């Protein structure tokens, strides 16, 4: 038995060492960087720990950072809500035993597996007036044909539409799996007691779905911070700073203005939020949950 | 009785109809981009759009004569090698995690999940600084290493759940016959894990292949990746729609095929194995 345990340690160690090198070391380095005013253009700012918390003190006073939090909040809220509603609707629709529907299900996953850059290009094509088939259809119906991505009021909604399209297959898959393992008895019982379709859904199906919905929403919330390629290709954070989400703002500060110290501080804040949500997932649902 | 049957049949027809409309709406944007790749730029911008047109492969010929061909090859090399290294390190580790009782699996789960979920910018900054110092900016190896940040933990977590599903009784029988733990792993467990290994490898490949952010930040020209190379077709003078469409179609093709092959395990892969799909 002792020998067996030793073999396992040998099998595990290389992976854990590499994992620590590529994940823990960068986290530590990121944290250190966030305590410096590191500016790539000024060599003197390397390892300058004179005012370690300066970046974090500056953050709440930075209007553009606060704006980015607001953008991120709206982006996350609307995309996750959209994905939940569309995914739930589609899951209820596809939750029938049928060969045809099973074949169709597989095709619904395509948006979510596409390279994000391709998703961004797809929607850039649909929202750019020069080439937009969408605008042509609106024109046929004598409706206004806006320049979606250049219009301050429409740019963020356009990105939300693209993101909902990209990720509703995820909520669809998760909720469909939950629906399929739902026990049939309570639904039958409610039917026999004379409950209509809506009542069965509202009082039986929805409560049973709740845990799956909570987990799905948490996963999507965490991932919603990563809408980078959509913003980069579709709007570049504009017009103005209307679509400049926190992640994108950190990218600009770090890799356009070379202010890596400040950018690291923003990243630490975002990372803390991610960690908190991951912690909630692990605590609430344990390390593994069967959804099938 | 028959009106009940009628109602049910009508409900079925309705749900089929709505599903078909939803599916068409979901796939339309993808197909729309794909058809642009077969048109000239002038045709692509013509409204009303031509439903029947003479397709041309000029855009594909053009992109593969330029720098895009090289970037496509780069993407292939990096995605395949990061997959191989991730599997080589991660599969034995996953087996150990599955079979030994290390007892701290919750904390490890949190670690794996957090690294999987962390915003890429949090890794990009320290890696960028370290790579400048190590001379790894704009190299294929630099990208290969940063892709391990998500692929290694993905392999460990996914393969662990696969190994958990393989009954231990076979292994115990072999152990009684005198086989050591390494022999048991190689001769008994690994040959039974084919589908799990294939699925996990496909996930690693797809995640590396789909990356845009790290490739954007950590490369300039020599190690150009296909998703970043597309951006070069977006100039100030105007977007080369046909070429963009062709390049995008080429990039999404392998991913779509692979994804359809592993669709049963999609949830497991996208939630880092925290949920079994």
What digits encode the pLDDT tens for the residues A202-254? 888 888 888 888 888 888 988 888 889 999 999 998 898 999 999 999 999 99
Contact A117, A233 (CB under 8 A): yes
Residues in chain A within 8 Å Cβ distance of B90: 15
Say if A14 falls within a structural domain.
no
* Residue A206's CATH number: 1.10.3720.10
Residue range A102-127: mean pLDDT, rounded: 90
Residue A36 falls inside a structural domain: no
> What is the average per-residue pLDDT within A27-48?
87
Mean pLDDT of B6-34: 87
pLDDT for A161 equals 96
How confident is the model at residue B215, as a pLDDT? 95
Residue A69 clears pLDDT 50, i.e. is over it? yes
Q: What's the rounded Cα separation, in Å, for the pair B100 and B164?
A: 11
Residue A265 lies in a domain: yes
Say if A290 falls within a structural domain. Answer: no
Let me know if residue A89 belongs to a domain. Answer: yes
The residue assigned the tokens 């996208």 is B270
Q: Is residue A27 part of a domain?
A: no
Interface of A with B in 158-177 (CB under 8 A): 165, 169-170, 173-174, 177
- Overall average pLDDT of the B75-86 stretch: 96
Residue owning tokens 């099998």: A11
Alpha carbons B226 and B73: distance in angstroms, whole number: 8
pLDDT at A91: 92
Residues of A numbered 2-31 whose beta carbons fall under 8 angstroms of chain B's beta carbons: which are they? 3-5, 7-9, 11-12, 14-16, 18-19, 22-23, 25-27, 29-30
DSSP string spanning A103-123? HHHHHHTHHHHS-HHHHHHHH
| Cα diameter, chain B | 79
Q: Which of B29, B115, B185 sits opposite A122 (nearest CB)?
A: B29
A132 phi-psi bin (left φ>0, alpha ψ -120 to 50, beta other): beta
* Torsion region of A49: left, alpha or beta (phi above 0 gives left; psi -120 to 50 gives alpha): alpha
The model's confidence at residue A290, banded by pLDDT at 50, 70 and 90, is very low
Q: Is residue A26 part of a domain?
A: no
Q: What is the pLDDT of residue B54?
A: 79
Position A108 pLDDT exceeds 60: yes
What does the angle CA A53 – CA A56 – CA A61 come to, to the nearest 5 degrees?
130
| Nearest alpha carbon to residue A22 among B79, B124, B211, B158 | B124
B248 contacts A165? CB cut-off 8 A:
no
Residue A8 banded pLDDT, cuts 50, 70, 90:
confident
Mean pLDDT along residues B14-21: 87
pLDDT at B3 over 70: no
pLDDT computed for residue B272 by the predictor: 62
User: Which among B114, B162, B241 is the top mutation candidate for probing chain A, defined by the most A β-carbons within 10 Å of its own β-carbon?
Assistant: B114
Across the interface, whether the CB atoms of B113 and A281 are under 8 A apart is answered yes
Mean pLDDT (whole number) for A96-110? 82
Buried b / exposed e across B48-72, counting CB within 10 Å, b at 16+? Answer: ebeeeeeeeeebbebbeeeebebbb
Kindly state whether A90 is in contact with chain B, defined as any CB-CB distance less than 8 angstroms: yes
Sequence-separated (6 or more) residues with CB below 8 Å from residue A219: A170, A174, A281, B270, B271
CA distance B193 to A121: 38
Torsion of CA A35, A39, A40, A45, to 10 degrees: -70
Domain contains A41: no
List the domain range (segments joined by +) for residue A106: 52-285
% chain A with pLDDT above 90: 46
Optimal mutation site among A2, A113, A251, interface B, most CBs of chain B within 10 A: A113
Please name the residue of chain A whose CA is at the shortest distance from the CA of residue B233.
A121
Quick: pLDDT tens for B156-209: 888 888 888 888 888 888 888 888 888 888 888 888 888 889 989 998 999 999
CA torsion A265-A270-A272-A274 (nearest 10°) is -160
Total domains, chain A:
1
Instruction: Give B4's pLDDT tier (boundaries 50, 70, 90).
Output: low
């Amino acid at each position: 038995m002792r020998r067996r345990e030793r073999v396992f340690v040998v099998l595990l160690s290389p992976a854990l060492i590499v994992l620590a090198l590529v994940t823990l070391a960068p986290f530590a380095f990121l944290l250190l960087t966030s305590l410096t005013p590191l500016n790539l253009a000024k060599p003197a700012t390397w390892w300058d720990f004179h005012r370690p918390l300066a970046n974090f003190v500056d953050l709440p006073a930075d209007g553009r950072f606060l704006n980015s939090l607001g953008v991120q909040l709206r982006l996350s809220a609307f995309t996750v809500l959209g994905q939940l509603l569309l995914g739930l609707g589609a899951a209820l629709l596809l939750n029938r035993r049928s060969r045809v529907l099973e074949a169709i299900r597989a095709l619904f996953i395509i948006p979510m597996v596409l390279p994000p850059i391709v998703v961004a290009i797809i929607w850039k094509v649909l929202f750019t007036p020069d080439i937009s088939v969408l605008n042509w259809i609106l024109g046929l119906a004598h409706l206004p044909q806006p320049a979606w991505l250049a219009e301050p009021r429409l740019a963020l909604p356009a990105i939300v539409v693209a993101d909902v399209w990209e990720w509703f297959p995820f909520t669809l898959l998760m909720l469909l799996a939950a629906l399929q393992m739902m026990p049939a008895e309570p639904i039958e019982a409610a039917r026999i007691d004379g409950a209509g379709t809506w009542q069965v859904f509202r009082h039986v199906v929805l409560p049973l779905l709740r845990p799956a919905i909570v987990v799905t929403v948490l996963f999507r919330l965490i991932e919603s911070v990563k809408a980078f390629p959509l913003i980069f290709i579709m709007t570049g954070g504009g017009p103005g700073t209307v679509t400049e989400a926190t992640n994108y703002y950190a990218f600009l500060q770090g890799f356009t203005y070379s202010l890596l110290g400040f950018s690291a501080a923003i990243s630490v804040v975002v990372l803390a939020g991610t960690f908190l949500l991951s912690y909630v997932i692990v605590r609430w649902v344990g390390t593994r949950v069967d959804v099938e | 009785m028959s009106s009940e049957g009628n109602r049910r049949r009508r409900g079925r027809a309705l749900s089929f109809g709505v599903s078909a409309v939803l599916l068409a709406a979901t796939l339309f944007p993808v197909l729309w981009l794909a058809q642009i790749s077969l048109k000239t730029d002038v045709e692509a911008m013509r409204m009303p759009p031509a439903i029947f047109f003479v397709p041309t492969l000029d855009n594909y010929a053009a992109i593969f004569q330029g720098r895009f061909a090289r970037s496509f090859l780069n993407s292939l090399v990096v995605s395949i090698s990061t997959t191989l290294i991730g599997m080589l390190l991660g599969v034995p580790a996953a087996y150990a995690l599955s079979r030994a009782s290390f007892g701290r699996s919750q904390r490890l789960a949190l670690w794996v999940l957090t690294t999987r979920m962390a915003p890429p910018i949090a890794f990009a900054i320290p890696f960028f600084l370290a790579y400048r110092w190590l001379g790894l900016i704009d190299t294929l190896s630099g990208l290969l290493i940063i892709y391990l940040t998500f692929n290694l933990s993905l392999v460990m977590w996914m393969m662990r759940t696969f190994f958990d599903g393989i009954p231990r009784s076979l292994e115990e029988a072999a152990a009684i016959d005198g086989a050591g733990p390494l022999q048991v792993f190689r001769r008994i467990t690994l040959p039974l894990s084919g589908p799990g290994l294939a699925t996990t490898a496909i996930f690693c490949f797809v995640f590396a292949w789909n990356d845009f952010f790290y490739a954007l930040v950590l490369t300039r020209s020599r190690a150009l990746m296909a998703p970043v190379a597309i951006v070069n077709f977006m100039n100030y003078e105007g977007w080369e729609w046909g070429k963009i469409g062709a390049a995008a179609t080429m990039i999404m093709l392998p991913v779509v095929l692979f994804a359809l092959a592993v669709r049963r395990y999609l949830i497991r892969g996208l939630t880092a194995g925290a949920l079994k799909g």
